[in-house]
Chain A
Amino acid sequence: DGGITQSPKYLFRKEGQNVTLSCEQNLNHDAMYWYRQDPGQGLRLIYYSQIVNDFQKGDIAEGYSVSREKKESFPLTVTSAQKNPTAFYLCASSRGLAGGYSYNEQFFGPGTRLTVL
């Protein structure tokens, strides 16, 4: 089955720690995204990547870092510089811009709920 996996499902972080959230897709999608969702709110874009070894900041990139060494993987690191990291994190992928897909539906993983202790 093709899809997106995120791990762990729940993550607890102590103050001052860096933590890494995993995102893997086997949909052969070029583009991948990380979103943050706070209670009662919509999604806000943290980082996105349209191709391997390249990524761009979204609206709320401060305190986060990413890498895209493989097409299938797009891990997100929440650094100690992120002052309020408690949130629900969603990873998504899409076919990307290559080929001019106007539809470009994003497929989502099940999410990781991060709590700072």
Chain B
Amino acid sequence: AQKITQTQPGMFVQEKEAVTLDCTYDTSDQSYGLFWYKQPSSGEMIFLIYQGSYDEQNATEGRYSLNFQKARKSANLVISASQLGDSAMYFCAMRDSNYQLIWGAGTKLIIKP
């Protein structure tokens, strides 16, 4: 069965430090996509970054990068130089063969000043 696992329920990080949020996935599909979304306390889901299963290079978007290790089935999100505004829930999701998203349970990130 296809599944996304986020093993860190919560994390505290000092402002300006880098932080890595873990995500592992399980799928038998050859073609799939991995997404990271941010959910602030206001509730809306904000798209951060995408990695396709055939992409050879790790995706980057500004301060966000995705550490994609296909053999280990992991797609960790790295946030460089964290800011207070990065405090939020972060969700990893996988696009399955039906083009639907399967979601992890999320990681609550709190940035300390």
Contacts and interface: CB of A to CB of B under 8 A. Distances in A.
A35 to B, nearest CB: 8
Interface stretch (B39-47, B63-71, B75-83): B39-47
A113 B91 CA distance: 19
Interface residues of A, number: 24
A111 interface: yes
Interface in B81-106: 91, 93, 95, 99-101, 103-106
Q: How large is the interface on B (under 10, 10 to 19, 20 to 34, 35 or more residues)?
A: 20 to 34
A106 interface: yes
Contacts of B46: 108
Interface of B: 4, 9, 31, 33, 35, 37, 42-47, 50, 52, 91, 93, 95, 99-101, 103-106
Interface of A: 31, 40-45, 48, 58, 88, 90, 92, 97, 102-111, 113
